[in-house]
Amino acid sequence: MDGSNMPVNGGWRNVVRRWLDAALEALDALAFDGPDARAVALGLRVHRPARFVRVYRSPAFDTRTPCVPCDGEGVTARGPCRDCLGLGRVGGRRSVTSGTG
């Protein structure tokens, strides 16, 4: 075996990893394209924190706003934001008016 046909620097592993990633992305799309489209049509927000995971959220229930000191990131130059405890969001109040004057 002269090694001339051996992949360099883990080439086969990279090829297999890319192929698996593409296959998993295709399965993810196949599984969630319909539900995602229905959720968007209903006005829901679709968040994809990981492959094969979806979070559907109604904006009507949003009562939290981005944290101003950390710009919604949860961290500042000094570390985790103390105002939002690293969450990037703080409690907010919306003014709600009733139908009775």
What is the tally of structural domains in the chain?
2
Q: Are 83 and 90 in contact (CB under 8 A)?
A: yes
Q: How far is Cα 90 from Cα 69, in angstroms, rounded to an integer?
A: 11
Least confident of 4-13, 70-79, 88-97: 88-97
Q: What is the pLDDT, as a whole number, of residue 3?
A: 54
What average pLDDT score do residues 79-95 get? Answer: 78
- Same domain flag for 56 and 12: yes
DSSP H or E run through 33: helix 11-41
- Same domain flag for 11 and 45: yes
What average pLDDT score do residues 51-56 get? Answer: 93
Q: How far is Cα 9 from Cα 2, in angstroms, rounded to an integer?
A: 16
First to last CA, the chain: 88
CA dihedral 12, 13, 19, 21 (to 10 degrees): -170
In a domain? residue 92: yes
In a domain? residue 99: yes
pTM above 0.85, yes or no: no
